[in-house]
Amino acid sequence: MKVEGLQFIDLFAGIGGFHQALSRNGASCVFSSEWDKHAAATYKNNYGIQPAGDITKIKESDIPSHDILCAGFPCQAFSVSGKQKGFQDSRGTLFFDIARIVKFHKPKLLILENVKNFEKHDGGRTLEVVNKTLEELGYDVSYKVLNASHYGLPQNRQRIYFVCFRNDLNMPKFQFPKPTNKPITLSELLEKTPKNVNPIMRDDIVIHKMYNPQIDLCGNTVVENKPIRIGTVNKGGQGERIYDVRGHAITLSAYGGGVGSKTGLYKIGSTIRKLSPRECARVQGFPDDFKIVSSTTQAYKQFGNSVAINVLDEIVKKIKITKKLH
């Protein structure tokens, strides 16, 4: 299965996680929108497309016609790490900009992504509003929470994904991809000599657990596809926990404090450090030829806001293309 020959638009595009997954499966981008100037610069440097700015100021009629609408719409309004104001937050209302574009263009397929907490936010009422809105616009809505750790990426990143086909296409109910559960460790994606990340040198580092992986009956190391916490810095709060690189990374974040903010801390040999921007790119599924053009601070934010490309790739591969879609 491929979406080859179809055209997509990339809303709240960030640095182009959706672009990566759709284009590698044969679709072409005809429009993108991103209001953060640093993320937009990264997008243009990698794809040759200058994203339009604030989607709330762009008329539906100024957006090209398209087959697929992609949107990882802002999650801070629904995230457990934020204030969870949902649609009371201006970022939460941006979903309705997706809705007005869908109403005007009626694309054949919508692929949306948000934080895991979106499913249960406000007692499920937020999800109910989204489902009802999309159904009233004429779409069959399927959604599921998937974890990047189950799809070949060493990062514990749970996100809710929506796949919505236009009703008149009479497509079968979408079945989300089963986990591949490929054994993979964070250690496999580390740079040998990262240039833009420093060791953590403190006297309050405590390693309270030595990780000893299990060995199976064939003598092979059993890989645990999850973060393995082994120590702390300071009081061990968020951003102050240390993990073994023979497990997975914690969820990359665009925000958060602590000495290990945004990436977590990892014991690599005798060194304790954060992940480098390139390592963050890798645990999100970006290829090594992806250009990191922003500062380290901005790069952390961009990868923390991005989507897990391997998960999207598996979703796109499951989309059943028929003649009705062309």
Query: What is the C-alpha to C-alpha distance for residues 123 and 109, in angstroms, rounded to an integer?
Result: 27
Query: What is the C-alpha to C-alpha distance for residues 303 and 16, in angstroms, rounded to an integer?
Result: 10
* Phi, psi of 296, deg, nearest 5: -60, -40
Partnered with residue 163 across adjacent β-strands are: 111, 142
Contact status, residue 54 vs residue 34, Cβ threshold 8 Å: no
DSSP classification of residue 58: S
Query: What is the C-alpha to C-alpha distance for residues 213 and 220, in angstroms, rounded to an integer?
Result: 10
Residues involved in catalysis: 75
Q: Would you put residue 122 in left (φ > 0), alpha (ψ -120 to 50) or beta?
A: left
Q: Would you put residue 134 in left (φ > 0), alpha (ψ -120 to 50) or beta?
A: alpha
Distances (CA, A) of 109 to 62, 81, 316: 20, 30, 11
- 146's enclosing H/E stretch is strand 139-147
- 297's enclosing H/E stretch is helix 296-305
Question: Among 141, 130, 144, 131, which residue's Cα sits nearest to residue 171?
Answer: 141
Chain centroid offset of residue 87 CA: 21
Q: Are strands 205-207 and 158-166 parallel, antiparallel or unpaired?
A: unpaired
Question: Among 107, 81, 9, 95, which residue's Cα sits nearest to residue 51?
Answer: 9
